[in-house]
Amino acid sequence: MPGLRVHITGSALAGAAYAVAAWQIGGMPPSTCILGGVLCVLAGMLPDLDSGEEDSLRESIGFAAAVVPLLMIHRLQQAGLSLEAIVLAGAGLYLAVRYGAAWLVSKYSVQRGMLHSLPAAAVAGQVAFLSFSTEEPIHRYFVASSVVLGFLMHLVLDEIWSVKEGQFGPKFKTSFGTAMKFYGPEAWSNLLSYVLVVALGVLSATDAHWSEKTLPARQYVRQQMEQAARSMPSTPAPWNYRR
C-alpha cells in the first residue's frame, strides 16, 4: 500500500496539472487555480482517515479543520453575520471537524471501508461545493472537482499498488478492488454513504440553482455599490482640518 508521501506526491502532481490547465485553457484566476491545487493535495489524504494510523488521521483532520472554515467565510458573510460572529462560527467549525469528526472516524471507520470508495469521493466534492460560495459559479465547480480529483488519485494509487509483478505476469494482492468500489461489506455504511450522496446532491443542486438564478441581481447590486463608492467625495484626514 502506498504511503502518505506517495499519495501527497500523486495528488500534488494531479492538482498542479489541473490548476495549470484551468489557468491556461479555462482562463481561471491564478488565485482560484492555486486554491484548487491545494485542495486537491488535501483531498488526496482524506481516504487514509480509516487507516488507523494516528499520524495520517491527525494530519488529514488538522488540514480539513483549518480549510473548511476558510471556505465558509464568504457564505457566512452572505448570511449577514458580523465579523465577530464569523470568527466564532469559524472557531466552532474548526472544533467540530478537529475533534468531532476525528472521534467519529476513529470510532466507526474500518480500514478500506467506505471512506475508500467512489461514493465517498462524491461526498467530499459535494461538501466542498456547499462550503465554497463565490460570485462565479464556474469557480465553485472547479474547486469541488479539484477535491474529487485528489480523492480519486488516492484511490487509483491504492489500486496500482495492489498489483505486483509475479513470475508469470501481474499478480493481484487481496487488497485489489477495495479502493475503487461502489459498496463495501457492511450494509449500514453503504446505506449511510448513499444517503449522504443523495442528500448532499439535492442540497448542491438546489444551492447551485438559487445561486445562478440570483447571480444577475447580486452582480447589479455590487456594481451599484462600486459606482457609489467611486462617486463619493473623499473625506480629508482629520489632521488637514483648519480651525
Per-residue pLDDT for 1 more than 70?
no
Residue type, 142: F
pLDDT band at 14 (very low <50, low <70, confident <90, very high): very high
pLDDT score of 230 more than 80: no
Separation between Cα atoms, residue 210 and residue 81, nearest integer Å: 20
Q: Report the alpha-carbon distance of residue 206 to residue 67 in Å, rounded.
A: 24
* pLDDT tens digits for range 51-84: 656 666 677 788 788 888 888 888 888 788 888 9
Nearest CA-CA partner of 178 in 112, 121, 231, 228: 112
Confidence class of residue 173 from pLDDT cuts 50, 70 and 90? low
- Between 125 and 219, name the one with better pLDDT: 125
Quick one: average pLDDT of 72-97?
Answer: 88
**Does position 243 have pLDDT exceeding 90, yes or no?**
no
pLDDT surpassing 80 at residue 179 = no
Over residues 127-139, the pLDDT tens digits come to: 999 988 887 889 9
Nearest Cα to Cα of residue 36 among 60, 22, 23, 19: 19
Rounded to an integer, the average pLDDT of 82-106 is 87
C-alpha triplet 159, 191, 195: angle, nearest 5°: 100
Look at 230 and 204; give whichever has higher pLDDT. Answer: 204
Question: β-pairing, 169-172 with 163-166?
Answer: antiparallel
pTM of structure: 0.79
pLDDT in tens, 209-225: 888 777 666 555 556 55
Is residue 149 over pLDDT 70?
yes
With a cut of 70, say whether residue 227 has pLDDT above it.
no
Q: Nearest to residue 136, comparing CAs of 26, 41, 18?
A: 26
Q: Do residues 142 and 22 lie in contact, with contact meaning Cβ atoms separated by under 8 Å? A: yes
In this model, does residue 120 exceed pLDDT 80?
Answer: yes
What mean pLDDT comes out for the span 16-33? 93
Q: What are the boundaries of each domain within the chain?
A: 4-230
